[in-house]
Amino acid sequence: DAGVTQSPTHLIKTRGQQVTLRCSPKSGHDTVSWYQQALGQGPQFIFQYYEEEERQRGNFPDRFSGHQFPNYSSELNVNALLLGDSALYLCASSLVRGSYEQYFGPGTRLTVT
Amino acid sequence: GDSVTQMEGPVTLSEEAFLTINCTYTATGYPSLFWYVQYPGEGLQLLLKATKADDKGSNKGFEATYRKETTSFHLEKGSVQVSDSAVYFCALYNNAGNMLTFGGGTRLMVKP
């Protein structure tokens, strides 16, 4: 049973550029959440998608946007990258009923120079 | 808003020592509580959970009890191993927010 997968593993971008990160949920899961984990800190909630709609959003600017596809996979887009966007981006999947139990992928390490 | 506070690390122990990592929370309603573990270079793995007051979560020798009266969910293990070296995160899930709120993490280092 495949778990949550994310791509790419690592990414280096320049300030002002745009980036797209991808996530495939665990088989059978229908809800995807995204988190940002800065170095040495706990993950911070960005947003959650269900039925291709943003269901909940954390305290992140509009430069952060997302999408969920009919097969439940998801993308996180970040525009106008800042140095402070350098972090590990984690995707988590769950079932909308019982979405408290979230399973995390290995993350994408984004470095902005 | 919701928040989670955990003891700062690093916590350094010798193999077979007893482990306690303190975690307290602030939340409205009745959140579910979790401990996640993160090994170097990896994502988060769910270690254990408790969904209501007085529940005890357990896994791989680790335990934590949901104490509503003290708003705590302390992680314990009777005998740690070198392989337990990792960062441990306490987290809560509040149905109103549809999201996990994490503490800052506690690094555990176990020496042979």
Question: What are the residues of chain B with a beta carbon less than 8 Å away from any beta carbon of chain A?
Answer: 4, 32, 34, 36, 42-46, 49, 51, 89, 91, 93, 95, 97-105
| Pairing of the two strands B62-65 and A5-7 | unpaired
Nearest-Cα distance to chain A for B12, in Å, is 17
Best residue in B3, B23, B99 to probe A by mutation, most A CBs within 10 Å? B99
* Contacts B34 to A, Cβ<8 Å: 100
Distance CA A40, CA B36 (A): 15
For residue B99, the model assigns a pLDDT of: 87
**Contact by Cβ (8 Å): B108, B20:** no
For chain A, list residues whose CB is within 8 angstroms of any CB belonging to chain B: 4, 33, 35, 40-45, 48, 55-56, 58, 90, 92, 99-107
User: Residue B82: helix, strand or coil by DSSP?
Assistant: helix
pLDDT of residue A97: 76
Burial group, residue B109, by CB count within 10 angstroms (0-12, 13-18, 19+): middle
- Nearest chain A CA: its distance from B2 CA (Å): 12
Smallest CA–CA distance, residue A46 to chain B, in Å, is: 9
Q: What's the number of CA atoms in the CB half-sphere (13 Å) around residue A88?
A: 20
pLDDT at residue A101, as a whole number: 85
Instruction: Report CA Rg, chain B.
Output: 13
The Cα A29–Cα A9 span in angstroms is 22
pLDDT digits 0-9 by tens, A11-51: 999 999 999 999 999 999 999 999 999 999 999 999 999 99
Confidence category of residue A99, pLDDT binned at 50, 70, 90 = low
Residue A96 has pLDDT above 80, yes or no: no
pLDDT-above-90 percentage for chain A: 87
Residue B41: partners with Cβ closer than 8 Å, 6 or more residues away: none
Could you give the percent of chain A with pLDDT greater than 70? 97
Distance (Å) from the C-alpha of residue B17 to the closest C-alpha of chain A?
A: 25
- Tell me how far apart the alpha carbons of residues A48 and A11 are, in angstroms, rounded to a whole number: 22
Cα–Cα distance between A109 and B6 in angstroms, integer? Answer: 25
Is pLDDT above 90 for A98? no
What confidence score (pLDDT) does residue B29 get? 82
- A89 burial level (CB within 10 Å; 0-12, 13-18, 19+): buried
Where residue A1 falls among pLDDT bands split at 50, 70, 90? Answer: low
Residues of A in contact with B91 (CB under 8 A): 42
Characterize the bridge pairing of strands A108-112 and A10-13. parallel
Number of C-beta neighbours around residue B51 at 10 A: 16
